[in-house]
Structure 1
Amino acid sequence: MEAFVCGVGKKTHARQIAVAMNSVSKGIKLALIDISGTLHVGSQAIQGGPSALKKLRGAGVTVKFVTNTSKESSTDLHSQLMGLGYDVAREDIHSSLGAASLLVRKMDLHPLLLLSESARMDFENDYDYSCADSVVVGLGPERLTYEWLNRAFRILDNGGQLIAAHDGRYFKQEDGLSLGPGAFVHGLEYCTGKKALVVGKPSKEFFLTAFSSDLAEADEVVMIGDDATSDCSGALNAGIGSAVLVQTGKYRSGDEERAKPPPTATVPDFAAAVEWIINNS
């Protein structure tokens, strides 16, 4: 699908917004907002982000935060966002770690947690690994070593379940792109013949459990994120009405052209995404 370019006027300093030709069928009532790469990169807030979030709420759009961040617990992530100037309620953060923890409880599993110390806080406890019957993988550098991965391999080889908070290829840090947990998830799949249960984006269930129908219908929701595939295509494939790709974080030139389906709009940053939403609400 081709795209056209429109200007957004002096208020946004004549930034250009590339908008896909598919229109927004209904007014937007709810925004699902990615966090890492969209609201911040490392310890730095995206320029204009906190004020743009306030403006979005002021326009009457409800906001929820959907994240594959698997290095920090939801509590630590909430504290980080507040420290960066974002007014965020803890209960409005829908994380892949939380989804993995819920699945573990639902399946009554006792997993080996290949997670950081902070991320393990989202689970009921750090299980007795001598009787582990499953493996949960996220971005936990201190546990993604040969010793821990070999433990995981043996559990899976003995019939254990593999659960991935997400299988992202890379993410953006202040000093550049960095390897995501996907390499380790798919490495364990390759070595064991197991197929991981991936609970975060782009899972359809992850998007649709982020909000209730009393807030909005799926076609009245917009997704904002820096990942053309997991954020934007994933949301659209889940039935979300529109998806806006921001050119910050992990974004690379041409990502919007490679995504299937492509994002509804591609904009420079979160502030520009808010302008697009207000104009389409």
Structure 2
Amino acid sequence: MSVTDWFSLNKNIEGVLLDISGVLYNSDASGGKAIAGSVEAVKRLKASHLKVRFCTNESQHIRSHLVQRLQGLGFDVEAHEVFSPAPAACQLVKDRGLVPHLLVDDKILPEFDAFKDDEGKTPNCVVIGDAVERFTYQTLNDAFRVLIASEEPLLITLGIGKYYRESGELMMDVGPFTKALEYAADCKAEIVGKPSPSFFQAALKDMGVDSSKAIMIGDDIVNDVGGAQKCGMRGIQVRTGKFRPSDENHPEVKPDCYVDDLSDAVNRLLSCSSS
């Protein structure tokens, strides 16, 4: 089925979920650069009848800083529209009355300020995110020791991505480090973020849109597209960000369609909706 045919058969779409990095902008050390046409594409989406939310596995920046970065690039984005894993993980840990051992980037530690009073207490779970330079043998071993000391080790991961693109280069994401701890501690991580169904469902609930009437647009074929499809949404993959030509032959995930970029997707979607 062609892209045009696919969109023409899906005029009942009411909500759109957008990934951020690799779809809206490409990140780099200077703060990133908007992908051509993406600022206008978001503006057009938000001016339409469609509801829009932003779902990201970003775990190197707190949500407010991420929103400031996007607004600085020209995007019409508000904090309440952005769903990121750190606040969700914090709420999960609080709800369960846990004491976390944090293996995350220093820049998102403010998201976990609620646990400052727990300093000195014995941790009973590990929260792992994309810790970048904090990933060392020592920090991973410290996390392993927390897990192995428990009869039922609990590992909470802010996503499970394999890699992402930054400054034009592919970088290892939190997934490989999570898998190492899973293997060493003989446990299964609880994912907060994409592709967790609960993460997508929180955004859908916030929009008041059923999964059958929603689309996820992302550059990650497994976590964005595959995760959305498992929740009953359509999944569209852009050929920007971490996309690689080999994605089009993925053995398990088959996107509902591919588009060149977000602008291409929005052009087709709005054209279909208004026809």
Instruction: Give TM-score scaled by structure 2 length.
Output: 0.90
Question: Within 5 Å, which residues of 2 pair with 1:75-224?
Answer: 75-123=64-112, 124-126=114-116, 127-128=118-119, 131-159=122-150, 160-212=153-205, 215-224=208-217
Q: Flag the 1:129–1:86 CA change in 2: closer, same or farther, 3 A.
A: farther
Q: Which residue of 2 aligns with 1:270?
A: 262
Q: Flag the 1:276–1:98 CA change in 2: closer, same or farther, 3 A.
A: farther
Q: Flag the 1:272–1:200 CA change in 2: closer, same or farther, 3 A.
A: same
Determine helix, strand or coil for the equivalent of 1:50.
helix
Q: Flag the 1:230–1:214 CA change in 2: closer, same or farther, 3 A.
A: closer
Determine helix, strand or coil for the equivalent of 2:76.
coil
- Of residues 22-31 and 51-60 in structure 1, the stretch that sits farther from structure 2 once superposed is 22-31
8 A contact 1:229–1:259 mirrored in 2: no
Aligned-pair CA distance for 1:22? 9.2
Q: In structure 2, what is the Cα distance between the partners aligned to 1:205 and 1:145?
A: 30
Counting aligned pairs with the same residue, the percent is: 35
Aligned-pair CA distance for 1:218? 1.3
Determine helix, strand or coil for the equivalent of 1:64.
strand
Q: In structure 1, what is the Cα distance between the partners aligned to 2:125 and 2:91?
A: 14
Q: In structure 1, what is the Cα distance between the partners aligned to 2:13 and 2:91?
A: 29
Q: In structure 1, what is the Cα distance between the partners aligned to 2:183 and 2:141?
A: 13
8 A contact 2:7–2:272 mirrored in 1: no
Please, which runs of 5 or more residues in structure 2 have no aligned partner? none
Aligned-pair CA distance for 1:175? 3.2
Q: Which residue of 2 aligns with 1:70?
A: 59
- Of residues 260-269 and 177-186 in structure 1, the stretch that sits farther from structure 2 once superposed is 260-269
Determine helix, strand or coil for the equivalent of 1:136.
strand
Q: Which residue of 2 aligns with 1:226?
A: 219
Aligned-pair CA distance for 1:199? 1.5
Determine helix, strand or coil for the equivalent of 1:135.
strand
Determine helix, strand or coil for the equivalent of 2:205.
coil
Aligned-pair CA distance for 1:59? 2.0
Q: In structure 2, what is the Cα distance between the partners aligned to 1:36 and 1:169?
A: 14
8 A contact 1:111–1:129 mirrored in 2: no
Q: In structure 2, what is the Cα distance between the partners aligned to 1:83 and 1:218?
A: 31
Aligned-pair CA distance for 1:122? 1.6
Q: In structure 2, what is the Cα distance between the partners aligned to 1:112 and 1:121?
A: 14
8 A contact 2:221–2:253 mirrored in 1: no
Question: Within 5 Å, which residues of 2 pair with 1:242-281?
Answer: 242-258=234-250, 260-281=252-273
Determine helix, strand or coil for the equivalent of 1:109.
coil
8 A contact 1:233–1:259 mirrored in 2: no
- Aligned-CA RMSD value: 1.9
Determine helix, strand or coil for the equivalent of 2:16.
strand
8 A contact 2:15–2:207 mirrored in 1: no
**Aligned AA (2:49):** G
- Of residues 157-166 and 127-136 in structure 1, the stretch that sits farther from structure 2 once superposed is 127-136
Q: Flag the 1:185–1:83 CA change in 2: closer, same or farther, 3 A.
A: same
Pair 1:29-2:18 in alignment: no
| Structure 1 residues 194-248: Cα deviation after superposition (integer angstroms, max 9, x where no partner) | 11101211111111111227632211111010011111111011111x2211001
8 A contact 1:167–1:181 mirrored in 2: yes
Please, which runs of 5 or more residues in structure 1 have no aligned partner? 7-18
Aligned-pair CA distance for 1:125? 3.7
**Aligned AA (1:266):** Y
- Of residues 110-119 and 128-137 in structure 1, the stretch that sits farther from structure 2 once superposed is 128-137
Q: In structure 1, what is the Cα distance between the partners aligned to 2:126 and 2:9?
A: 41
Q: Flag the 1:214–1:151 CA change in 2: closer, same or farther, 3 A.
A: closer
| Structure 1 residues 257-278: Cα deviation after superposition (integer angstroms, max 9, x where no partner) | 3163411120111111111221
Q: Flag the 1:165–1:192 CA change in 2: closer, same or farther, 3 A.
A: same
Which of the pair is proportionally richer in helix?
2
Which of the pair is proportionally richer in strand?
1
Q: In structure 1, what is the Cα distance between the partners aligned to 2:216 and 2:7?
A: 15
The alignment covers a number of residue pairs equal to 265
Determine helix, strand or coil for the equivalent of 1:172.
strand
